[in-house]
Amino acid sequence: MLTAQYFLFSKIAWQGQDDSLSTTAGWFIPRKKIVYAQLLDSLLSEQDTIGLFTEPVYRQYELLKSFLKKYRDLSTQAWPVLLDSLRPLKPGDSAQVIAQIRQRLLKLGDHNGDTLSTRYDQSLIESLEHFQQRHGLKEDGLLGPDTFAQLNIPLEQRIKQIIVNMERCRWLPVRSDGDYLAVNIPEYKLHVYRGDSLLWSCNVVVGQSWSRTTVFFGELKHIVFSPYWNIPESIVIKEVLPGMRKDHDYLSKHDMEITAYRNKIPVVRQRPGKRNSLGLVKFMFPNSYNIYMHDTPSKSLFGETERAFSHGCIRVMEPVKLAEFLLANQKNWNKGRILDAMHLGRERYVALSQQVPVYIAYLTAFCDRNNVLNFRNDIYNLDEPMAASLIANQ
């Protein structure tokens, strides 16, 4: 009976709810698999080290668990709405609400100085910048409407957000030994890992709410330099055909050409070049969702704090650096050759000698490399349905 209870507990605690929840939540990264019988054998054979046992869950789970306790403790205290002043506050101003903001930032871990001063001074600016950084806001130290809105989010909502993302962490692999890429959609970031060590990160642009980037797993197999953009039929119907009706030179002006017709609808592609919507390189991990990573001519979008602008594919801010990383172990592929291939003007495929795993994930609460709790907006509205399934008496 005890062994049976162990297996029942293990499946729920370390693997999470059944697959129906993740599928309904639009999560198509394969769920981790754990051989609990082997885990039990290991526990029984290591009697002297059982106190050092590490739960077989992705490390973010335990980090979020510690913050869940903190936020539950905070929820027992008064948490009034902070009222914005009648006029916009700027550095040097004084107002009663500033003391209240200081106290809130102290409780949230963003401020460690004076909590009584009503003056908008440098210490408050630095605390606000820290708060803004971990909420994905513009780090200007100003009390704008977005910052006020995040300061006023109820603790109950944050607790739900943490619980939902703890569940997602149960679905992820416990660890990875090799190189891999991870895109966190709500964070608008690409992270490059070697083992479990973060090497570097960069901004990305993801799909809009009506053309979402799918949450899934793939393996990056090849790079395409100077790519054609084979325009999806949906975009041809919604954008290209109306453009052609308005302007007979629409195709030539956009470096496009018709290669065939399918069901009386033209098959259109955009020729390689600086104006190509895929930029000068794309990174392919074949999948049924027709999603990949690529360069873009629209560089200014990477400076926006919210970057959901694409049709579903992922635009990468540092494509040259990514290509260098992926081709580092392949002969003669240095930065100079990569740049030459990107500006070649004709399409060139380069197969990777070793495939690189790619995780397209969706975490709206997570801890960064400094173990600082971060929150991001639920841009695809996936948190609330999951919370309803996980938490009683919502």
Q: Has residue 390 been placed in a domain?
A: no
Alpha carbon 59 to its chain centroid, in Å, reads: 17
239: DSSP letter: I
SS3 71: helix
> 219-230, pLDDT tens digit by residue?
999 999 999 999
Q: Is the pLDDT of residue 165 over 90?
A: yes
Of 111, 294, 311, 367, catalytic:
294
Say yes or no: 27 and 87 in one domain: no
Residue 168, both tokens: 């997602």
The span from the CA of 101 to the CA of 145, in Å, is: 14
Q: Backbone phi, then psi, for 130, in 5-degree steps?
A: -65, -45
Q: Per-residue pLDDT tens for 88-123?
A: 899 999 999 999 999 999 999 999 989 999 999 999
Which pLDDT score, from 0 to 100, does residue 171 have? 92
Rounded to an integer, the average pLDDT of 205-220 is 96
Per-residue pLDDT band at 42 (split at 50, 70, 90): low
Render pLDDT for 167-180 as a digit per residue (tens, 0 to 9): 999 999 887 889 99
65-79 average pLDDT score: 96
**Which residue pairs, CB below 8 angstroms and at least 24 apart, start in 367-375?**
367/60, 367/63, 367/64, 367/67, 368/134, 369/198, 371/63, 372/109, 372/134, 373/63, 373/64, 373/67, 373/109, 373/134, 374/134, 374/135, 374/136, 374/187, 375/134, 375/135, 375/136, 375/150, 375/158, 375/161
Enclosing domain of residue 29: 2-57
Count structural domains, the chain: 3
Residues 37 and 128 both lie in one domain: no
pTM score, whole prediction: 0.90
Please state, for a pLDDT cut of 70, what percent of the chain lies above it.
Answer: 95
294 is catalytic: yes
Q: How far apart are CA 384 and CA 160, in angstroms?
A: 8
Out of 13, 42, 57, a domain closes at 57
Q: Are residues 183 and 314 in the same domain?
A: yes
Residue 307 φ/ψ, nearest 5 degrees: -130, 50
Q: How far is CA 261 from CA 194, 232, 258, 267, 270, in A?
A: 45, 13, 8, 5, 15
343 tagged catalytic: no
Structure tokens at 383: 């948190």
User: 87 by DSSP, 3-state: which?
Assistant: coil
- Of 303, 342, 301, 304, the closest CA to residue 320 belongs to 342
Residue 136 shares a structural domain with residue 187? no
Q: Is residue 108 part of a domain?
A: yes
Is residue 31 located within the same domain as residue 89?
A: no
Tell the residue number behind the tokens 């903001």, with chain if given: 101
3-state DSSP call for residue 107? helix
Question: Of these residues, 130, 191, 313, 367, which one is catalytic?
Answer: 313
Percent of the chain with pLDDT over 90: 79
Whether residue 41 is found in the same domain as residue 136: no
How crowded is residue 248: how many other Cβ atoms within 10 Å of its Cβ? 9
301 occurs within a structural domain: yes
Return the structure tokens found at 40.
């039990």
Let me know if residue 21 belongs to a domain.
yes
pLDDT attached to residue 53: 55
Q: Please give the average per-residue pLDDT across 35-48, as a whole number.
A: 67
* pLDDT at position 21: 87
